[in-house]
Amino acid sequence: MSKYDEMKKIRDEVIALEEGELSKFRKENNYHAVLGEGSHDSKIMFIGEAPGKNEAMTGRPFCGAAGRILDELLASVEIPRTEVYITNIVKDRPPENRDPLPSEIELYAPFLDRQIDAIEPKVIATLGRFSMEYIMRKMGLSFELEPISRAHGKVYDGKAGFGPVKVVPLYHPAAAIYNQSLKDTLKKDFQTLRNL
């Protein structure tokens, strides 16, 4: 199966999902599942946490306030948004934007795993601690796990099913909405990405 067919199959399966509170919440509110956006040939994937309200209403990841910060960070290192792939671990919006539950991460992560295997990125940039913890464990880096305050901006050599992958944990862009010093830190960490 081509990667395009696989990505489409993943989307159809998430849309058809009957399990869990979040798919019910999506259907009740006429929300969209948010699968991801960008180039399937990208060498870099950005992985956030879960869609917020804007994302659930449009079906696009990072299109609200956090998305504007992400756009600014990408622009600061001259990486066009259309050339990367942006997604989340959890594909449906949690009510009140609460943190995803471990059971929800467990339900949606296999879809993310398949997206990663289809795209075969060289670099995975995680946005926030949920995706950092999930991806570092997944890529054989459990022994390197440390708080995001220490891990952010470091480059870890991970192992994906298809081969080596660099993992770069980043703070979640939403954390920088009202925090200029954290935005400066993110800008510096994006330079690391640019250099990779």
Separation in Å, CA 83 to CA 15, 17, 40, 122: 25, 29, 9, 14
User: What single letter denotes the amino acid at residue 61?
Assistant: P
CB 168 within 8 A of CB 189: yes
In the list 23, 33, 73, 88, the residue contacting ligand URA (rule: CB under 6 A) is 88
Per-residue x/- marks for ligand URA, 40-79, CB under 6 A?
A: --------xxxxx--x-----xx---x-------------
Among residues 38 and 48, whose Cβ is nearest to ligand URA? Answer: 48
Task: Quote the CA–CA distance of 170 and 127 in Å, as a whole number.
Answer: 5
Minimum Å gap between C-beta 89 and ligand URA is 8
Minimum Å gap between C-beta 81 and ligand URA is 13
Strands 44-48 vs 85-88: parallel, antiparallel or unpaired: parallel
Q: Is 94 in the site for ligand URA (CB under 6 A)?
A: no
Which residues bind to ligand URA, rule: CB under 6 A?
Answer: 48-52, 55, 61-62, 66, 88, 174
